[in-house]
Structure 1
Amino acid sequence: MAHSLIQRRREAERARVEAYELSLRHVSQRTRPPPDFETAIYDARRGFEADIVRDAEAWKPRMKTRDAARLRLAAARYLFARYPVAEHLEHIWIDGAGLGAGEIHLRKRWYIAAAGGGSLYAAGAAEWLSRKEVHAFLNPLGSVGFEAAVWQAIARSYANDPAVAMRIARTRITQTPRAQHRFWRDVVRFFCAHPTTVEDMDDFHDYLADCHRRDPEYTPKGRSLISLGRQMRDWHRDLDAIARIEAARRRAEAARNRARGLAASPEQIEDRWLGVAIAGAKREEYVVVQLRTAAALVAETRGMRHCVATYATKCIAGHASIWSLRRRASGDVQRLLTIELDTRSRAVQVRGFANRPPLAEESKILERWAQARGIMLL
């Protein structure tokens, strides 16, 4: 049934009203809540009530921001600061992601001490920085983060060239644990005495960290960039060799499991091969140990300057076992001989440093060991 003219006009008017209301909903803004100043003051003062220098109730900021981090920083400035400080000290009030509770408290404590006009050295920085370095930390070169400012300050105490300190502040040294501070300070001193690029220092980082892990008393002192680079390249070659041997060991282990109808998970596969069982030996000045891991074989190759690491496949398959005769004295261990045994407990190869034959004294020790363990020396 056709609509009358009046009905059509009413429907058109209703459609216009609905379209107008829809447009209003799109362009209108919801009422924004006011800035939460009370929460900002509470977050800033929590745990540091004794250090407040102004009345928290009297804080009447003229701020329109609703950002909680910016409000918290403004509250901290009002509560604790008598003097302006560098940006890297203030950042802890904005973002503490990834930091433990102890580290967050330390950084806030350092901010309060510096901004309040106190002694940062007396506030705990003396554990890591000298007075000269504290001054450099409070006045960094350029825009840097907290840890970068610490290491830049240390570098500035050793280097006359500011560019060297700025490069060190951009390296991975700034990410090292605070507990290893003493070792990495020696590393920074080394790089100040032997300047190089950020890329080179980052390349050295993993090698030096591994040296420190294996020997907590290790130090780069007395070395040059050339010798350190040579040692790092040897280390990388060792890692590659270990990776190849480990891949071969995993393949052999997986093949044995398939032959036995087993499906071993990666957690069930050890990082060593089975080796050969020989009656145990009592601890003496001279000891013979079996090398059953890729790292042990590669270390023997590196220490003795021969190619025993290439025998890994035979060891993994159970066709041979490799042993090392060592001398222990005053806490030091000296490698003397590398011994290859076949499946019949026969010493088919015995070599010293750089593949030399055994010395007379070493032969006597070897004979005693072989006789006691039922080994046949060929």
Structure 2
Amino acid sequence: MAKSMIQRRQEAERERIEAYAVTLRRVSPVARPAPDFERALDDARRGFAGMAIRDGALWRPKLKTRDRARLRLAAARHLYARYPVSAALEGIWLDASGLDASEVALRKAWYIAVARGDSLYKAGANAWLSRKEVHCFLNLSGDLIFDEAFWVAIARSYTDDPGLAARLARTKIARTPRGELVFWREVTRFFCGHPASKEEIDDLCDYIGAMHQRDAAYTLKGRTLASLRRQMLEWHRDIAAIERIEAMRRRAAGRAPHTAGMRSQGRAWDGSRLEDWEWQPSSKEAKAHGERFFLRQLKTAEDLVAESRAMHHCVSMYAAKCIAGNASIWV
């Protein structure tokens, strides 16, 4: 039976409505979930049971944000904060990327101690900071992050210039391991007495760090900014010389047959077939206790450059001949 005009119009209207609904479903955004306040409370409480001064069940946030970090900070404020806390300490609740678990726990513990009104010095800061430095750390303003605030507090022990202290806190000093604090505190003290630009301090810190890694007893006592600059330039020249010699060694290794030559492991070349020699005279023959004589062949770029620097001669110029086996240097 043929459909009436009215039925055909009704069906066409239903089809238009359905097509419109499909279009709306396709272009309308997915409904956003409500802020997860319970998850934020769990994140803030984790590892600090019994430290809260307020019941999490009483939290009535008016936040509209769904950002997990901001919710976590708000939860921490509710649970622990009796007093306002600096942004440097609050930052751990917002971003802990790049930090190991022990450092995250330490920074959160420091936040909780300060927020509750406890003594940060007694809460563990005394392992690194004096009472004066703790007081400075807690009363800093501005957009400093934790490490910067930490080193500003240390620098202010050695200078009354807040600008210089802030400059030092933004150098590579602030990124050094806390386990090396004693050494880098000495470096900070040096630059408080010998101010320089941030860029120069960073360059000098590369050199100072390399010297400290090479010799744990390395110190800045008796040094000046001018002497450090000179030594840093010499160090850079040595690095460049080592790189040139290494490039020669790699080229020679690439040309050598796989069955012969350049068999040494690592960054050394084969060198002379003569073995290193060592002799220790008997106690009757020795002129001094523990007297010992030795001859050692230099077979790495580092050793050649170090010998050149120590003896003020140009043995490193013979590197190509040493690598090719046409010469050898002994000490």
TM-score relative to the length of structure 1: 0.78
Match of 1:332 in 2: none
Q: Which amino acid aligns with 2:99?
A: L
- Structure 1 residues not aligned, in runs of 5+: 325-378
Residue 33 of structure 1 deviates from its aligned partner by 2.5
Q: Indicate if the aligned counterparts of 1:141 and 1:166 stay in contact, CA closer than 8 A.
A: no
1:256-293 per-position Cα deviation (integer Å, ceiling 9, x unaligned): 136x499x9xxx85201112223631354443322111
Aligned residue for 1:292? 299
Q: Residues 141 and 222 (structure 1 numbering): CA distance in 2 closer, same or farther, change over 3 Å?
A: farther
Out of 317, 321, 326, the position equivalent to 2:324 is 317
Could you tell me how far 1:29 is from its partner in structure 2?
4.6
> CA 1:55–1:10 in structure 2 vs 1: closer, same or farther (change >3 Å)?
closer
Letter in 2 for 1:132: K
CA distance in 2, matches of 1:47, 1:8: 68
Corresponding residue SS for 1:281:
strand
Aligned 8 A contact 2:82 2:115 in 1: yes
SS at match of 2:294: strand
> What residue is the counterpart of 1:271 in the other structure?
267
For 2:283, the equivalent position in structure 1 comes to: none
Superposed, 1:65-104 pairs within 5 Å as 65-104=65-104
Q: Which moved more, 1:306-315 or 1:11-20?
A: 11-20
Counterpart in 1 of 2:285?
none
State the one-letter code of the partner of 1:175: R
Q: How does 1:111-260 map to 2 (within 5 A)?
A: 111-257=111-257, 260=259
Letter in 2 for 1:280: W
Partner of residue 108, structure 2 = 108
Letter in 2 for 1:278: E
2:277 alignment partner, one of 254, 276, 280? 280
Question: Structure 1 CA distance, aligned partners of 2:314 and 2:277?
Answer: 27
Is this contact kept in 2: 1:253–1:269, CA < 8 A?
no
Alpha-carbon contact 1:86-1:138 (below 8 Å) kept: yes
Matched residues, number: 318
Given that 2:194 and 2:225 are in contact with CA atoms closer than 8 Å, whether structure 1 keeps it comes out as yes
- 1:62 maps onto 2:62 in alignment: yes
Question: What residue is the counterpart of 2:53 in the other structure?
Answer: 53
Give the partner amino acid of 2:52: I
Q: CA deviation at 1:25?
A: 2.6
Q: Secondary structure at the match of 2:50?
A: helix
Kept in 2, the 8 Å contact 1:43–1:72? The answer is yes
Q: CA deviation at 1:30?
A: 3.8
The alignment-based identity, stated in percent, is 57
Contact 1:41 1:76 in 2 (8 A): yes
Separation in 1, partners of 2:113, 2:257:
63
For residues 221 and 160 of structure 2, what CA distance do their matches in structure 1 show? 19
Query: Quick one: distance in 2 between partners of 1:311 and 1:43?
Result: 63
Q: Tell me if structure 2 keeps the 8 A contact 1:248–1:313.
A: yes
Does structure 2 retain, via aligned residues, the 8 Å contact 1:113–1:119?
Answer: yes
| Alpha-carbon distance in structure 2 between the residues aligned to 1:295 and 1:23 | 71
Distance, in Å, in 2 between the alignment partners of 1:170 and 1:65 is 32
User: Larger relative contact order (C-alpha < 8 A, sep ≥ 6)?
Assistant: 2
AA in 1 matched with 2:89: L
Identify the residue that residue 367 of structure 1 maps to in structure 2: none
For the 8 Å contact 2:133–2:156, the answer to whether it is kept is yes
Partner of 1:20: 20
Displacement of 1:156 after TM fit? 1.1
Quote the residue 2:286 is aligned against: none
Partner of 2:129: helix, strand, or coil? coil
SS in structure 2 opposite 1:238?
helix
Q: Distance in 1 between matches of 2:18 and 2:50?
A: 61
Cα separation, 2, equivalents of 1:72 and 1:137: 23
Q: For 1:165 and 1:200, locate their aligned partners in 2 and report how far apart those are by CA, in whole Å.
A: 15
Q: CA deviation at 1:316?
A: 0.6
SS of the equivalent of 2:122 reads coil
**Quick one: distance in 2 between partners of 1:57 and 1:16?**
50
- Code of the aligned partner of 1:71: L
Identify unmatched segments of 5+ residues in structure 2. 281-290
**1:308 maps onto 2:315 in alignment:** yes
Q: Which segment is superposed worse, 90-99 or 133-142?
A: 133-142
Which amino acid counterpart does residue 295 of structure 1 have in structure 2?
E
Aligned partners of 2:9 and 2:54: how far apart in 1?
69
* Aligned partner letter, 1:275: G
Q: Find the residue that maps to 2:296 and give its secondary structure.
A: strand
Q: Separation in 2 of the partners of 1:188 and 1:28?
A: 57
Which range moves more in the overlay, 315-324 or 27-36?
27-36
Greater share of residues in strand = 1
